[in-house]
Chain A
Amino acid sequence: MINCRGGVRGAVLLVAAAVSLAGCAGARPKPMSPPRAQAMEHNRRGVEAEARGDREQALAEFLEALRLQSSVDNTDGMIVALINSARTRRLKGDLPSARQGLDRALSLLPEGSDLASELFYEKAKVLAAGGELFSAVQWAVRAEAAETGDARGRRLNLVAALKLRQGFPDQAREQLEQALAFNRKAGMSAEQANSLRLLGEIELMQGSYEKASERYLGALLLDKELGLGARIAADLSGLGAVAAKKGDNAGAIGWYKRALEVSRSGGNDLQAADAREKLAQLYRLNGEEALTRTKP
């Protein structure tokens, strides 16, 4: 009896273990064709190269990915490669090539594709970089309308930034409030900080200095958590501008000094030059001309 009971117990344990293991094991993903797998690998390497700042290498990887995706007529893969290469070219300053690549991607885009939003978004960015704000807003709005995922806050941030550049702060604020809500919900801290920074800029324009400080500080907190140097410098410069508007020149100098330090350390020369210019203006206002010629 004892032996029989022990055998049954063992069998029950064995079945339970098998069932639990079967639950853990999922279906194996469908194997991918070698050209597509290689294209994906090149795309991944391109994204990494761009993150390192090696744009030439990134472009080479994206073009190889495009070639491989074209060789198997994978339209989605081709569009991804084209968007990535256009984005890299835009960041490199080669707007005509970026635009050419995007136009090719638009010609490939199937009806109802979920890549449409990212493609329209990049189109809007390229147009905005070329100063075509009116068209850029139209494409940004289309990108926001086509978005089905978590990036709606990001799309709205772009619409708001463009509206602000066009001189419509109230419309921009409306978009940013929505964007902030979407970004918070989606947990997209970087875009949340972008929304806050833009709101801070609008508050500063409209003379609400306390609210502006609050927005900039919120953005600074998030950017610091993410370690985004360029954004931190932008937040610090915004706080410096608020202090200067309030007449607190000493405070403003402090903020701008920090912004300059962050920009210089991050190798962002343009931001550093901007911060240095602002500092020089403040020193002149304080009657400290000599300090404008020395390194802070």
Chain B
Amino acid sequence: MVKVGDPRFRHLKRKVAFFAVAALAVVFAVILLIGKENDLFTKKYELDFTVEKGTGFTRGMPVKLSGFRIGRVKSISLNEEARVDIVLLIDQKYQKWIRRDSTVKLVKEGLVGDAIIEVSVGRSPEALKDKERIAFVKTKALDELADELAEKVKPVLGDVEEIISYLNDPEGDIKQSMKNFNQLARNLEQTRNRADSLLVHADGEVGAVSGKLATVLDGAADSVKRVNSSFSTIEQKLPGLLVSAEHSLKNLEKVSGDLKQAEETLLPKVSPLLQKSDRVLSDTGTVLRAVQGVWPISSHIQAPQERQFVPGDSHD
């Protein structure tokens, strides 16, 4: 049996009351914290919108504005038109940013993050009130984006493939150009070596040529002097030569006139003369053939042989 007089039980009531109050305080603090965390103690208002499909939306999913959480999805329900009505519960203090032209859209936080509803800040001066509708902007899902991207990339890939095959074609312009370029590079190296040697050679030659040029110029000066003296001589003799040439031309003219006269006189006689000569030759031939056939001359004339051969000696 426990004695009431045990010092451990002194002020027992007081102690129990203290612990009970402390426990209650802790519970109350926890409730306060959780309520604060879940915006249970802030003033809220509702906005709603309708979408074709409820895919991606969940109850309680956060609603954010400029990256800050301002509310959550309160309810998702199917309406009479088989569309989905969604009600948002937004903190009252952010109401001033959500205006008539504000929109909501379903987005992902990062490539693999959670889905959220993002509210855009409107420019309209009038803010939306409780239970009013906000416009929903449909965003493309990742697979739709991927498909769209694939559709856009397909022709690009085709082009890339074509370009690669064109680049890889050994007979194509690029490969040929590269080949030519390589060859050109090699040739350039040779050309450069040759040019170097040529320059060295030319350097020496220029010196030699300049020396020769000086000699030639000296010679040319002498020649010019001689030409000048020749011109002087010609100048002195030219009048006499011109007089002689004039005489010669007159004589030539006279001779040509005489020749023309002779031609006019003689030419008509030439053709009959030639005809007569032909007849005489023909007659002579006839007479000769007749004489050749007369004995004893015919026995001394060798008859023409049709089968006369170039000697085909067996020793050749």
Q: Which residues of A contact B (CB under 8 A)?
A: 21, 24-26, 28-29, 32, 36-37, 40-41, 43-44, 46-47, 50-51, 58, 76-77, 80, 83-84, 87-88, 91, 115, 118, 121-122, 125, 154-155, 157-158, 161, 190-191, 194, 197, 230-231, 234
Give 18 A-B contacts (CB < 8 Å), ordered by A residue.
A32-B304, A36-B306, A40-B306, A44-B308, A50-B310, A51-B310, A77-B306, A80-B306, A83-B309, A87-B309, A118-B312, A154-B312, A154-B313, A154-B314, A158-B314, A161-B314, A194-B313, A231-B315
Q: Which of B303, B304, B309 contacts A84 (CB 8 A)?
A: B309
In the complex, the answer to whether B309 meets A194 with C-beta atoms within 8 Å is: no
What 4 additional pairs, Cβ within 8 angstroms, besides A50-B310, A76-B306, A161-B315? A28-B293, A77-B306, A87-B310, A190-B315
Q: B144 in the interface, Cβ–Cβ < 8 Å?
A: no
Residues of chain A within 8 A (CB-CB) of B303 are 29
On whether A47 and B312 interact (CB within 8 A), knowing A25-B295, A26-B298, the answer reads no
In the complex, the answer to whether B315 meets A40 with C-beta atoms within 8 Å is: no
On whether A194 and B306 interact (CB within 8 A), knowing A24-B295, A24-B296, A26-B295, the answer reads no
**Chain A CB within 10 Å, residue with most, of B293, B298, B313:** B313
Distance, CA A78 to CA B243, complexed state (A) = 69
Residues of chain B within 8 A (CB-CB) of A161 are 314-315
Residues of chain A within 8 A (CB-CB) of B308 are 40, 43-44, 47, 80
In the complex, the answer to whether B314 meets A115 with C-beta atoms within 8 Å is: no
Q: Which residues of B contact A (CB under 8 A)?
A: 293, 295-296, 298, 303-316
A19 CB to closest chain B CB, in angstroms?
14
A-B contact count (CB 8 A): 71
In the complex, the answer to whether B310 meets A157 with C-beta atoms within 8 Å is: no
A98 CB to closest chain B CB, in angstroms?
12
Distance, CA A58 to CA B309, complexed state (A) = 12
Residues of chain B within 8 A (CB-CB) of A36 are 306
Residues of chain A within 8 A (CB-CB) of B311 are 51
In the complex, the answer to whether A84 meets B307 with C-beta atoms within 8 Å is: no
In the complex, the answer to whether A76 meets B307 with C-beta atoms within 8 Å is: yes
A63 CB to closest chain B CB, in angstroms?
14
Residues of chain A within 8 A (CB-CB) of B305 are 40, 44
B102 CB to closest chain A CB, in angstroms?
106
For the complex of A and B, the 3 pairs showing the least CB-CB separation, nearest first, are A157-B314, A158-B314, A87-B310
Distance, CA A76 to CA B305, complexed state (A) = 12
Distance, CA A230 to CA B316, complexed state (A) = 10
B47 CB to closest chain A CB, in angstroms?
111
Distance, CA A234 to CA B295, complexed state (A) = 46
In the complex, the answer to whether B314 meets A194 with C-beta atoms within 8 Å is: yes
On whether A47 and B307 interact (CB within 8 A), knowing A24-B296, A125-B316, the answer reads no
Residues of chain B within 8 A (CB-CB) of A190 are 313, 315
On whether A47 and B309 interact (CB within 8 A), knowing A26-B295, A28-B293, A29-B303, the answer reads yes
Distance, CA A118 to CA B303, complexed state (A) = 21
Residues of chain A within 8 A (CB-CB) of B313 are 154, 190-191, 194
In the complex, the answer to whether A80 meets B309 with C-beta atoms within 8 Å is: yes
Smallest CB gap from A39: residue in B: B306
Distance, CA A122 to CA B311, complexed state (A) = 11
Residues of chain B within 8 A (CB-CB) of A41 are 304
B295 CB to closest chain A CB, in angstroms?
5
Residues of chain B within 8 A (CB-CB) of A197 are 315
Residues of chain A within 8 A (CB-CB) of B315 are 157, 161, 190, 194, 197, 230-231, 234
In the complex, the answer to whether B306 meets A47 with C-beta atoms within 8 Å is: no
Smallest CB gap from B296: residue in A: A24
A133 CB to closest chain B CB, in angstroms?
15
Smallest CB gap from A91: residue in B: B316
B304 CB to closest chain A CB, in angstroms?
5
Residues of chain B within 8 A (CB-CB) of A88 are 310
Distance, CA A24 to CA B294, complexed state (A) = 10
Smallest CB gap from A159: residue in B: B314
Residues of chain B within 8 A (CB-CB) of A191 are 313-314
Distance, CA A24 to CA B297, complexed state (A) = 11
A85 CB to closest chain B CB, in angstroms?
9
Smallest CB gap from A158: residue in B: B314
Residues of chain A within 8 A (CB-CB) of B293 are 28
A94 CB to closest chain B CB, in angstroms?
14
Distance, CA A91 to CA B312, complexed state (A) = 10
Residues of chain B within 8 A (CB-CB) of A194 are 313-315
Q: Which of A24, A46, A115 contacts B307 (CB 8 A)?
A: A115
